[in-house]
């Protein structure tokens, strides 16, 4: 579901929710939203992650990608999803500005992705135009990678030091599981959907939505505290073990079998 503004897209989305005989969602939070906003019931089938794929990234590729981002000798923060309102990109840039003044080397923010059904050019332009005023330089402090080859994505997770995921809304947040599978510590917004599978301070650091100061503090803590990063890494592996694509497929098969039986 998205916050469409075009009437035809709004109607299309509404009918896609109201017409089916069975509706599947990826989180309990969105089951509740459909019940509250559309008075319809849904079943939860969680997303999964291919742990083996993301844990087996080529170290040489990861080193080369880090070099490409200009972070061979600097901390590397990874953001996945492009620059758009839902991803909290403006908050992330403001947080990066606060990290610029911390002791030690300035971090690099690498942003992967960006394709969307929505036209976010106005928001994207506004965020990028704010960089000089924040003391940040495009292609130096902030590197836009766009859509990367699928085979390259595990390498980006392996290359980074922390995932910044300050979303304002998510259905599940699959990038979080992908990052954890690669052994990458995660900082996320404190959204109800994340609390369905993450324990604040144990599996990931959580910060209030739109709070640049808290986001900067959390990112800086992960970058500076190796013991904390190791604890988050170990806990992340355990989280990912609970969400496999085999489990996801089995949940779908159960629903299909029920439909066939009817």
pLDDT per 10-residue tile (average), the chain, 262 residues: 85 93 94 95 94 94 96 96 94 95 84 81 94 96 94 96 96 95 97 96 97 97 96 96 95 93 83
Q: In angstroms, rounded to a whole number, what is the distance separating the alpha carbons of residues 65 and 225?
A: 24
Residue 6: the pLDDT is: 85
Residue 117: the pLDDT is: 66
Model-level pTM?
A: 0.93
Residues 222 and 185 sit within 8 Å (Cβ to Cβ): yes
Residue 103: the pLDDT is: 67
Residue 176: the pLDDT is: 97
Coil/strand/helix, residue 165: strand
CATH top class, domain 51-241: alpha beta
Q: What's the DSSP call for residue 116?
A: -
Residues 237 and 180 sit within 8 Å (Cβ to Cβ): yes
Q: In angstroms, rounded to a whole number, what is the distance separating the alpha carbons of residues 45 and 28?
A: 9
Residues 189 and 168 sit within 8 Å (Cβ to Cβ): yes
Residues 45 and 248 sit within 8 Å (Cβ to Cβ): yes
Residues 176-212 as b/e (b if ≥16 CB within 10 A, e otherwise) read bbbbbbbbbbbbbbbbebbeebbeeeebbbbbeeebb
Domain segments of the chain as ranges: 1-45, 51-241
Q: In angstroms, rounded to a whole number, what is the distance separating the alpha carbons of residues 207 and 188?
A: 6
């Amino acid at each position: 579901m998205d916050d469409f503004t075009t009437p035809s897209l709004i109607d299309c989305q509404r009918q896609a929710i109201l017409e089916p005989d069975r509706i599947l969602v990826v989180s309990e939070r969105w089951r509740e939203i459909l019940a509250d906003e559309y008075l319809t019931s849904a079943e939860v089938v969680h997303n999964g992650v291919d742990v083996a794929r993301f844990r087996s990234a080529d170290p040489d590729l990861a080193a080369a990608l880090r070099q490409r981002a200009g972070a061979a000798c600097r901390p590397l923060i990874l953001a996945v999803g492009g620059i758009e309102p839902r991803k909290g990109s403006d908050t992330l840039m403001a947080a990066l500005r606060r990290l610029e003044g911390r002791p030690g080397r300035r971090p690099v923010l690498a942003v992967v992705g960006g394709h969307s059904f929505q036209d976010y050019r106005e928001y994207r332009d506004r965020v990028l135009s704010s960089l000089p005023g924040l003391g940040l330089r495009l292609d130096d402090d902030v590197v836009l990678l766009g859509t990367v080859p699928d085979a390259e994505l595990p390498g980006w997770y392996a290359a980074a030091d922390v995932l910044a995921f300050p979303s304002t809304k998510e259905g599940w947040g699959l990038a979080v599981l992908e990052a954890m599978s690669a052994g990458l510590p995660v900082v996320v917004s404190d959204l109800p959907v994340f609390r369905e599978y993450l324990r604040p301070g144990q599996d990931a650091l959580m910060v209030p939505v739109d709070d640049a100061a808290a986001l900067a503090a959390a990112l800086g803590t992960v970058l500076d505290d190796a013991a904390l990063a190791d604890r988050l890494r170990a806990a992340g592996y355990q989280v990912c073990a609970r969400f496999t694509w085999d489990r996801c497929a089995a949940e779908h098969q159960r629903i299909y079998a029920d439909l066939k039986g009817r």
